[in-house]
A and B are shown apart, each in its own frame.
Chain A
């Protein structure tokens, strides 16, 4: 009897616990629902749809038709422009991202050392990053106009060569890097915050130990700000892989075709394809030529590369970032 009662009461307790757990799960699910809906609608569905479309011929106006791997074959064997676009994008990842990080860190370090006018200089360096990208590029290209721009006028006055800047295929990408350095305020401000957060005692102790400035930077500053550096590297690489607006506007303005109304210069990647990025080519094939199936294949490849690079960086972060569990 006792046994039966105990079993029954254990069953009731177990059932009540199950009910409570279910209610808890439902509560958690209810709180998660907005996020789940957002991720499903704006990430999972587009991702799966893009993957499916990459195996089809699709022009937006008629139903997609399954073509297997032919879009990927075309990409690998019959599209010389995608190679140009991939090269330019890779170049930007390799040069633009480190250049912006180094310059941003240098400016932030400089600002921390100012005895006075910290607020003013912080504002001055940060302001360009607040300028809308299109307006910023327009102004920058006009500044570097080979014939009428003030930069070349100053160079001419000094008797120096006057480069063609955005009109020269060998200088167009470096000019975009200069543009990126001009707008480095976004990085500078997070580096600055991070630098100001480094414990002063460590510097004081290092001074007592007689370390030189380089050793101080290498063994105190870098370790302390390494999580921020890693964050800047990952977001910078992802942004460079998707580099679009600045290149399109610069090419449009430099080619003199900014007012054709097509929204995209007919001279894509002007001059001579030197500013054609992967994202531009994807957009052009998808929304100018309406090869949506092929554009989806390009998007899938870009997604895979972005994911792979991010994973590699995150994996490396474990050994590079100080303070991460299980490292240094």
Chain B
């Protein structure tokens, strides 16, 4: 009898639990609404703004100074700053319905998701109402701060990539100028490499291994004019010859060193973001890195005799020289913001007020993201930093595309490159085509039916 009762109750309990589950799932993420702005900007801002950002230490102090300036100009507003909040934390907080007024992300990879899901509010109405000129933002930056025409973020400083080279090591090898083509880079890398008596690498001219420091396919792609997606949004890696050229160049240099020998060498190098960085220690003569490395060198290896240049390009595409990979920080208003007007005012202030942008660039040593800030005489710059300003301004500089599936497509290619450089891909063309299939499948997985 009891068993019968139990049998009767079990489906009911399961159904109740399933219902509860559905309800709670829906509660967690159903609010996709954004608050419509009023027809005119409020004369006086009041209230509290919560501001989550990822910066810490010295860089967080730079942000705090800018926020203090905003509060001084808007005494009715209180800004509650939470530093050290990465994308994972902000995404989970927004998904849980926690109201965050202003969010700052270090990566453009999730912009597609932020915009398409409404996790970050569409800023178009605010921009139009306040007459903000988005054309003061360079095209490549405009590109990575929106998704499919929906602008849910503004830029807040950029990272731009170029070549760092050790002048002393180059001079010792008889070079007075950095390489401009991949052939020159390869030749110089070979000549700059120093082996010991056992054939082990002591100094590498250029470490080509994918995964080493900033060696990512995305960072090399602009030098080969390689594109990620075609016009119909499908993966272009197997079709665009730029990728095959990049892989072939990279593997050629890996084979010069020997994969095992190179692995042994890189495993003994210091961590990228430490005072033991191999370039700062003179163990690597040339490397690709962002403009922020200048600040690290100044702090960690001030006596290093180095210079910067645009990264070398495919020999067949000399017109690309001067370009590079550009990415950056993005700032927006979170879904469910409690004080959207003040939040927008803070976003606008941090991203477009020239003195503020310049002040942040000077403090954090990133590239400013508006034309007036780039041209400001207050922008502190030397020759090594100027290189990145020039790369940033180059019309052929490019970024990684935003997708609703984040950076999964970059990870898929990253997995392939590991196999490739280890010599485990017999047919490059077939391998890249397979990467296309995997990326397209993953994109489909991220799209609602």
Chain A residues proximal to chain B, CB less than 8 Å = 40, 44-45, 48-49, 52-53, 57-65, 67, 70-71, 74, 78-81, 145-148, 162, 164, 167-169, 254-263, 266-268, 270-273, 287-291, 294
Nearest A-chain residue to B19, judged by Cβ: A48
B139 at interface (Cβ–Cβ under 8 A)?
Answer: no
A63 interface neighbour in B29, B106, B441, B442, Cβ under 8 Å = B29
Nearest A-chain residue to B404, judged by Cβ: A59
A164:B18 contact, CB within 8 angstroms: no
A259:B273 contact, CB within 8 angstroms: yes
- Give B390-424 as 1s and 0s: 1 = Cβ < 8 Å from A's Cβ atoms: 00000000000000111110010011001100101
* Complex-state Cα separation, A152 to B411, whole angstroms: 32
A49:B448 contact, CB within 8 angstroms: no
A145:B268 contact, CB within 8 angstroms: yes
Nearest B-chain residue to A264, judged by Cβ: B88
* Complex-state Cα separation, A256 to B404, whole angstroms: 29
B113:A61 contact, CB within 8 angstroms: yes
CB B410 to nearest CB in A, in angstroms, measures: 8
Of the listed stretches B36-44, B187-195, B208-216, chain A binds B208-216
* Complex-state Cα separation, A29 to B18, whole angstroms: 23
**What are the residues of chain A within 8 A of B95 when measuring CB–CB?**
60-61
B128 at interface (Cβ–Cβ under 8 A)?
Answer: no
Contact (A259, B274) CB under 8 Å given A60-B29, A74-B441, A167-B267? yes
B383 at interface (Cβ–Cβ under 8 A)?
Answer: no
CB A57 to nearest CB in B, in angstroms, measures: 5
A146:B449 contact, CB within 8 angstroms: no
* Complex-state Cα separation, A146 to B179, whole angstroms: 32
**What are the residues of chain A within 8 A of B140 when measuring CB–CB?**
none
CB B144 to nearest CB in A, in angstroms, measures: 18
A60:B415 contact, CB within 8 angstroms: no
B24:A49 contact, CB within 8 angstroms: yes
B414:A266 contact, CB within 8 angstroms: yes
**What are the residues of chain A within 8 A of B33 when measuring CB–CB?**
none
A74:B25 contact, CB within 8 angstroms: no
**What are the residues of chain B within 8 A of A260 when measuring CB–CB?**
272-273
- Give B84-103 as 1s and 0s: 1 = Cβ < 8 Å from A's Cβ atoms: 00101001101100000000
**What are the residues of chain A within 8 A of B136 when measuring CB–CB?**
none
* Complex-state Cα separation, A267 to B28, whole angstroms: 31
CB B403 to nearest CB in A, in angstroms, measures: 10
**What are the residues of chain A within 8 A of B213 when measuring CB–CB?**
256
* Complex-state Cα separation, A267 to B414, whole angstroms: 7
B448:A57 contact, CB within 8 angstroms: yes
B418:A257 contact, CB within 8 angstroms: no
CB B411 to nearest CB in A, in angstroms, measures: 7
B411:A266 contact, CB within 8 angstroms: yes
Nearest B-chain residue to A60, judged by Cβ: B95
CB-based closest 5 A-B pairs: A147-B268, A61-B117, A49-B21, A61-B119, A62-B117
B268:A146 contact, CB within 8 angstroms: yes
- Say whether chain A's binding surface is mostly helix, strand, loop, or mixed: loop
CB A96 to nearest CB in B, in angstroms, measures: 23
* Complex-state Cα separation, A56 to B266, whole angstroms: 43
B263 at interface (Cβ–Cβ under 8 A)?
Answer: yes
Chain B residues proximal to chain A, CB less than 8 Å = 14, 17-18, 20-22, 24-26, 28-30, 32, 54, 86, 88, 91-92, 94-95, 106, 113-114, 117-119, 211-213, 216, 260, 263-269, 271-274, 404-408, 411, 414-415, 418-419, 422, 424, 438, 441-442, 445-449
**What are the residues of chain A within 8 A of B211 when measuring CB–CB?**
255-257, 266-267, 270
**What are the residues of chain B within 8 A of A256 when measuring CB–CB?**
211-213, 266-267, 269, 271-272
**What are the residues of chain A within 8 A of B18 when measuring CB–CB?**
48, 52
* Complex-state Cα separation, A47 to B309, whole angstroms: 55
B29:A61 contact, CB within 8 angstroms: yes
* Complex-state Cα separation, A81 to B414, whole angstroms: 12
CB B426 to nearest CB in A, in angstroms, measures: 15
**What are the residues of chain A within 8 A of B30 when measuring CB–CB?**
63
B21:A48 contact, CB within 8 angstroms: yes
Contact (A61, B91) CB under 8 Å given A145-B267, A164-B263, A294-B445? yes
Contact (A164, B260) CB under 8 Å given A60-B92, A74-B445, A81-B415? yes
Contact (A263, B88) CB under 8 Å given A52-B22, A63-B30? yes
A164:B264 contact, CB within 8 angstroms: yes
B271:A287 contact, CB within 8 angstroms: no
Contact (A147, B418) CB under 8 Å given A62-B118, A78-B441? no
B118:A289 contact, CB within 8 angstroms: no
B418:A272 contact, CB within 8 angstroms: yes
Nearest A-chain residue to B27, judged by Cβ: A63
Contact (A266, B29) CB under 8 Å given A45-B21, A259-B272? no
CB A40 to nearest CB in B, in angstroms, measures: 8
Nearest B-chain residue to A287, judged by Cβ: B88
B415 interface neighbour in A273, A289, A291, Cβ under 8 Å = A273
Q: List 13 A-B contacts (CB under 8 A).
A: A44-B17, A61-B117, A62-B448, A63-B25, A169-B422, A255-B211, A256-B266, A257-B211, A259-B271, A259-B272, A266-B211, A268-B411, A289-B407
CB A165 to nearest CB in B, in angstroms, measures: 9
Given contacts A57-B448, A60-B91, 15 further A-B contacts (CB under 8 A): A40-B17, A45-B21, A45-B24, A48-B21, A58-B25, A80-B438, A164-B264, A261-B54, A263-B86, A266-B411, A267-B414, A272-B422, A289-B405, A289-B411, A294-B445
